[in-house]
Structure 1
Amino acid sequence: MEGRATRNRELRTYQKKRRNNTGEFKENLIDFFFHILGTAIISVILIYLLSLMSK
Protein backbone atom coordinates (compact mmCIF):
# COMPACT_ATOMS: atom_id res chain seq x y z
CA MET A 1 0.00 0.00 0.00
CA GLU A 2 2.71 2.44 1.03
CA GLY A 3 4.78 1.56 -2.02
CA ARG A 4 1.88 2.35 -4.30
CA ALA A 5 1.39 5.75 -2.64
CA THR A 6 5.01 6.73 -3.18
CA ARG A 7 4.81 5.47 -6.77
CA ASN A 8 1.74 7.66 -7.36
CA ARG A 9 3.54 10.64 -5.86
CA GLU A 10 6.56 10.03 -8.10
CA LEU A 11 4.28 9.75 -11.11
CA ARG A 12 2.55 12.98 -10.19
CA THR A 13 5.79 14.93 -9.79
CA TYR A 14 7.04 13.46 -13.07
CA GLN A 15 3.86 14.53 -14.85
CA LYS A 16 4.16 18.01 -13.32
CA LYS A 17 7.76 18.33 -14.51
CA ARG A 18 6.78 17.17 -17.98
CA ARG A 19 3.90 19.63 -18.09
CA ASN A 20 6.20 22.46 -16.97
CA ASN A 21 8.65 21.60 -19.72
CA THR A 22 5.94 22.01 -22.37
CA GLY A 23 5.75 25.67 -21.36
CA GLU A 24 2.25 25.84 -19.91
CA PHE A 25 3.29 28.65 -17.59
CA LYS A 26 -0.08 30.41 -17.68
CA GLU A 27 -1.94 27.31 -16.47
CA ASN A 28 0.51 26.90 -13.59
CA LEU A 29 0.04 30.55 -12.68
CA ILE A 30 -3.75 30.08 -12.55
CA ASP A 31 -3.34 26.94 -10.39
CA PHE A 32 -1.03 28.88 -8.09
CA PHE A 33 -3.50 31.78 -7.88
CA PHE A 34 -6.39 29.51 -6.96
CA HIS A 35 -4.21 27.73 -4.40
CA ILE A 36 -3.39 31.06 -2.72
CA LEU A 37 -7.04 32.15 -2.94
CA GLY A 38 -8.21 28.94 -1.27
CA THR A 39 -5.61 29.23 1.47
CA ALA A 40 -6.58 32.87 2.10
CA ILE A 41 -10.30 32.03 2.33
CA ILE A 42 -9.64 29.16 4.77
CA SER A 43 -7.40 31.31 6.97
CA VAL A 44 -9.96 34.15 7.00
CA ILE A 45 -12.71 31.73 8.06
CA LEU A 46 -10.48 30.31 10.82
CA ILE A 47 -9.59 33.78 12.12
CA TYR A 48 -13.28 34.75 12.06
CA LEU A 49 -14.26 31.65 14.02
CA LEU A 50 -11.50 32.27 16.55
CA SER A 51 -12.63 35.85 17.06
CA LEU A 52 -16.22 34.64 17.60
CA MET A 53 -15.06 32.13 20.21
CA SER A 54 -12.98 34.64 22.13
CA LYS A 55 -15.89 37.03 22.63
Structure 2
Amino acid sequence: RGRTVFFITHRLGTIKNADVILVMDKGSIVEQGIHEDLMQQEGLYYHLAQQQLNL
Protein backbone atom coordinates (compact mmCIF):
# COMPACT_ATOMS: atom_id res chain seq x y z
CA ARG A 1 0.00 0.00 0.00
CA GLY A 2 1.25 3.47 -0.83
CA ARG A 3 3.83 2.32 -3.37
CA THR A 4 4.10 1.49 -7.02
CA VAL A 5 5.51 -1.84 -8.16
CA PHE A 6 6.27 -2.74 -11.77
CA PHE A 7 6.27 -6.35 -12.92
CA ILE A 8 7.79 -7.07 -16.29
CA THR A 9 6.78 -10.59 -17.16
CA HIS A 10 5.66 -12.96 -19.85
CA ARG A 11 3.69 -15.00 -17.29
CA LEU A 12 0.22 -13.50 -17.23
CA GLY A 13 -0.78 -15.48 -14.15
CA THR A 14 1.69 -13.32 -12.20
CA ILE A 15 -0.17 -10.09 -13.04
CA LYS A 16 -3.75 -11.32 -13.35
CA ASN A 17 -4.77 -9.53 -10.12
CA ALA A 18 -2.83 -6.30 -10.73
CA ASP A 19 -4.59 -2.94 -10.36
CA VAL A 20 -3.50 -1.93 -13.88
CA ILE A 21 -1.97 -4.07 -16.62
CA LEU A 22 -0.01 -2.45 -19.46
CA VAL A 23 0.42 -4.61 -22.56
CA MET A 24 3.39 -3.79 -24.75
CA ASP A 25 4.11 -4.85 -28.30
CA LYS A 26 7.31 -3.87 -30.10
CA GLY A 27 8.14 -1.24 -27.46
CA SER A 28 4.74 0.50 -27.42
CA ILE A 29 1.85 0.22 -24.99
CA VAL A 30 -0.99 -1.26 -27.03
CA GLU A 31 -3.52 -2.05 -24.27
CA GLN A 32 -4.11 -1.20 -20.63
CA GLY A 33 -6.67 -2.09 -18.01
CA ILE A 34 -7.59 -4.82 -15.57
CA HIS A 35 -7.63 -8.51 -16.47
CA GLU A 36 -11.41 -8.71 -16.96
CA ASP A 37 -11.56 -5.65 -19.23
CA LEU A 38 -8.59 -6.79 -21.31
CA MET A 39 -10.17 -10.21 -21.76
CA GLN A 40 -13.41 -8.61 -23.00
CA GLN A 41 -11.49 -6.54 -25.57
CA GLU A 42 -10.15 -9.76 -27.16
CA GLY A 43 -6.89 -8.07 -28.15
CA LEU A 44 -3.28 -9.12 -27.66
CA TYR A 45 -3.67 -9.74 -23.91
CA TYR A 46 -6.69 -11.97 -24.56
CA HIS A 47 -4.84 -14.08 -27.11
CA LEU A 48 -1.79 -14.46 -24.87
CA ALA A 49 -4.04 -15.39 -21.93
CA GLN A 50 -5.81 -18.00 -24.03
CA GLN A 51 -2.46 -19.68 -24.66
CA GLN A 52 -1.02 -19.36 -21.16
CA LEU A 53 -3.97 -19.67 -18.81
CA ASN A 54 -5.69 -22.49 -20.72
CA LEU A 55 -9.02 -20.63 -20.86
TM-score, scaled to structure 1: 0.25
- Greater helix proportion: 1
Larger RCO (CA under 8 A, 6+ residues apart)? 2
Greater gyration radius = 1
TM-score, scaled to structure 2: 0.25
- Greater strand proportion: 2
